[in-house]
Amino acid sequence: MEQLRATMRQESERLKERKQHIDRELAQIEPLVQNAQQAVGSIRSDALSEIRSLRAPPDVIRDILEGVLRLMGIFDTSWVSMKSFLARRGVKEEIMSFNARSVTPEIKNSVQELLRSNAASFDMKNAKRASAAAAPLAAWVQANVQYADVLHKIGPLEAEQAELQRKLSGAEQRLGKLGSALAGVDERVSELRERLGDCTREAARIEMGLRDSDARLTAARDLLAQLEGEHARWSRRLGALEAQPLAQRCLLASACAAYLGALPAAREEARSKLLQRWRRLLPELQQQGVPGELAQLLSSEKEQLAWRAQGLPPDRLSIENAALLLLPLPQRPFIIDPSGQASRWLQRHLKDPQLITQQDPTFLATLELSVRLGKALLVQDVQQIDPILYPLLRRDLITQGSRLVVHIADKAVDYSDEFRLFLLSQDAEATLPPYAATLVRTIDFSTTEAGLCDQLLQVALQEERPELEERRQELLHEADTLRLQLSDLDSRLLDLLLSGDFLHNQELRQALQARTTLD
């Protein structure tokens, strides 16, 4: 008896909670609908007539009217149908008196898809610019879609409310019957209480399992939704990479590395012409997706952004030279650098390299130490190559057990594979003897006419409009930073996807969200 009364109290509380929840859901959205209805009522008839007079409406007006017609169950969304609808007598009153309960899930979903795919059309600023009548109609469409969405969500709650009411009425009837036979059921009630406890515990265990399963299912759906865009993008990139002729591209890159670096900077266009000529000799390279520029062929956008952040001039010649310079080739680079920009950039890029000239008294000791410890060595002011360097340029390496050694002067020095040698000259007319020239790859960083124009323009802008130049540099830096972040996020996403547990990896979700935000 008491158990039944307790059950009745619980059912009454649940019924009350459901009703309050339904009222709260409706109270949140009803003001929006009322405001939208009032806004529609304030539309002037001449504004509607203006829309009807259009021969071909703008996309904003067409999208908004399509949303209105779909909500009202009109599936003919042609411009003729839209004008016919607007010409109805009392069309504003018809819209204002529209009952969102008549919206089916299919209609709601189609309008929601319209709102998602054409979000810009339903932006209030865009709608107001399109027509005085468009903004209230756009607000009405959005409000009624939200209201219909809430009604569909609370439908199960209302059904549950009716079911609870039915159960409550049945419990009251049973209570009346049990009241007359209470004395004979005490033992039965005790047994039922024990069984109820078991069932309650089992139900709790099942409920916990269901909650855990629901949470995992929700997490899986969210993750799949986030990964859908990445999958499409990665699939396109994979398809483009697989379609590229790798052998022909490697051949073209090898030719560029072997011949283009030594071309004088004054003949900047010769590189481009020679590259295009080679591409025509290899028809496979004409397909879409194969880079047509030297810098894109030999380096990635991420690398180029990093070079620019380290101080490399942004002109095409400098970026191409940097790509050629950093190729892992056996020939040491001989860099013609009259302006010193390449030297300054290399010092930042290589992170604490050794700087020295061949005339420095400590040149031999510094060279030996750099070879042994695997440091980067920048030899400046090179006019002729010191004979001491020839064994390194020829890579005259000798294997002694597990070690590699090279003879420098009269001494055998342990050779580290990390050792890097760069020869630099500020003489734009510097030339090497034929024998020496075959051991190095010449890269000319001399300032070209195009590069000089860019630099002079930058200096003039800095002098005349310093605030404009400062803002331009800030925007360029911000754009480069965002591109680097985007590239880093792509790498981070791939690492996280290889980590194992997707569903509980909060870092993966944050990375996906950040990737979407940057896009």
Residue ending a domain, choose from 464, 480, 511: 464
209 and 223, same domain (yes or no): yes
Domain boundary among 243, 264, 292: 243
The whole-model pTM stands at 0.49
Question: How many domains are there within the chain?
Answer: 4
In a domain, 416, yes or no: yes
User: Hey, which residues does 441 pair with through a beta bridge?
Assistant: 333
DSSP letter (8 states) at residue 78: S
Q: Are residues 199 and 271 in the same domain?
A: no
Domain check: are 99 and 199 in the same one?
Answer: no
Residue 426 lies in a domain: yes
Amino acid identity for residue 260 in this structure: L
Flag whether 481 is in a domain: yes
431 found inside a domain:
yes
Query: What pLDDT is stored for residue 373 in this prediction?
Result: 94
Instruction: Please report whether residue 144 resides in a domain.
Output: yes
For residues 435 and 479, membership in a common domain is answered with no
Same domain membership, residue 194 and residue 108: no
The DSSP code for 311 is: T
What integer pLDDT is reported at residue 360 of this predicted model? 94
Are 405 and 514 in a shared domain? Answer: no
- Domain closes at, from 243, 266, 296: 243
By residue range, what is the domain housing residue 119?
2-171
Query: Both 372 and 460 in a single domain?
Result: yes
Same domain, 188 and 163: no
DSSP collapsed to 3 states, 353-421: CEEEECCCCCHHHHHHHHHHHCCEEEEECCCCCCHHHHHHHHCCEEEECCEEEEEECCEEEECCCCCEE
> For residues 262 and 443, is the Cβ–Cβ distance under 8 A?
yes
Q: Which three-class secondary structure state does DSSP give residue 207?
A: helix
Quick check: is 176 in a domain? no
Task: Let me know: does 87 contact 52? Beta carbons within 8 Å.
Answer: yes
* CB distance 295 to 320 below 8 Å: yes
Q: What is the CATH number of the domain that holds 83?
A: 1.20.920.60
The predicted pLDDT at position 2 comes to: 67
Could you give the CA distance from residue 63 to residue 396 in angstroms, rounded to a whole number? 74
The DSSP bridge partners found for residue 423 are: 334, 379
Identify whether residues 292 and 253 lie together within a single domain: yes
With a cut of 70, which residues of the chain have pLDDT below it? 1-5, 8, 15, 158, 161, 171, 179-185, 215-217, 219-231, 237-246, 262, 264-268, 285-292, 449-452, 454-455, 458, 469, 472-473, 476-477, 479-480, 482-519
At 403, list the tokens: 């070690």
Residue 300 sits in the same domain as residue 161: no
Q: Residue 121 burial (CB < 10 Å; 0-12/13-18/19+)?
A: buried
Q: Check residue 224 and give its pLDDT.
A: 62
Q: Are the C-beta atoms of residues 478 and 453 closer than 8 Å to each other?
A: no
Q: Is residue 10 part of a domain?
A: yes
How many C-beta atoms surround the C-beta of residue 249 within 10 A?
Answer: 16
Residues 160 and 25 placed together within one structural domain of the fold: yes
Specify the pLDDT at position 506.
Answer: 63
- Give the per-residue pLDDT at 167: 75
- Cα torsion 111, 115, 121, 124: sign: positive
Judgement on whether residues 98 and 212 belong to the same structural domain of the protein: no
